[in-house]
Amino acid sequence: MIQLFVGLGNPGNEYEATRHNVGFWWVDALARELKVNLIDERSYFGKVARAQVKGQTVWLLQPQTFMNLSGKSVGALAKFFKIPPANTLVIHDELDLPPGEAKLKFGGGHAGHNGLRDIHAQLGTPDYWRLRLGIGHPGDKSEVAGWVLRKPPADQRDLIEACVTRTLTAWPDLLDGDTTRATQKIHTSKPPRPKPPRKTDQGNAPSPLTPLPRGEGSSRAPTPLPPGEGKEV
């Protein structure tokens, strides 16, 4: 059961539309869905919102510490409200997935992501949930820092926003602890292929294009009339 949704990013207008801030985009969308407002909370070093859903308290958090110190914010809120790491979901940008793709994951390493690295350190464990939103890779490791801090082109932005919209449909399942159903929604990026039409039994009726046997139908020769019949009088 997820109690705390954490979106990673950097504060400030200059970073708002960059690839590194897709976690913020996701939590902003969830806040709109739950009709709550994220408010600066200095005690937790971030923007925080609280909602009541089916009698459960749900927390939304956007650390305002800059990416490399995200754990300071996550740890402060999680420890104060006694939220276990296993009940925490961190939404972040993922270089190893193309724009439009997403993966749900529990535990594991930080793969060089500085925000996750600091969360590991502050929570004292890697055993929390992550929602990895694909932003693509520049192809060269030396270009990664500039890549994540730049705005994606319009076509990639559209793919990422569509991914945010699609994966957001899984939040009720995550809240309920149904990670199997949530995974099915999150990992599905393409609509199912349509089933072929069912063949209907046409019986033995001939096709309209099938010629009828000789002597049947319209090809049958007219029967001649007896003399004196069929003429006008």
Write out pLDDT tens, residues 152-169.
Answer: 999 999 999 999 999 999
pLDDT at residue 194, rounded to an integer = 55
Q: How far apart are CA 70 and CA 40, in angstroms?
A: 15
pLDDT band at residue 193 under the 50/70/90 scheme: low
Q: How far apart are CA 131 and CA 88, in angstroms?
A: 11
pLDDT at residue 188, rounded to an integer = 73
* Residues 127/85, Cβ–Cβ less than 8 Å: yes
Residue 39: strand, helix, or coil: strand
Q: For all residues of the chain together, what is the average pLDDT?
A: 87
Q: Which pTM does this prediction carry?
A: 0.80
Q: Provide Rg for the chain, Cα atoms.
A: 31
* Residues 29/168, Cβ–Cβ less than 8 Å: yes
Residue 147: strand, helix, or coil: helix
Tell me: pLDDT of 220 over 50. no
How does pLDDT run across 74-122, given as a tens digit for each residue? 999 999 999 999 999 999 999 999 999 999 999 999 988 999 999 999 9
Backbone angles phi, psi at 185, to 5 degrees: -70, -40
Q: How far apart are CA 104 and CA 127, in angstroms?
A: 13
Across the range 10-21, mean pLDDT stands at: 97
Q: What is the 8-class DSSP label of residue 65?
A: S
20 as an active site residue: the answer is: yes
Tell me: pLDDT of 223 over 60. no
- All domains in the chain, ordered by first residue: 4-187 (3.40.50.1470)
Question: Catalytic pick from 20, 92, 113, 120?
Answer: 20
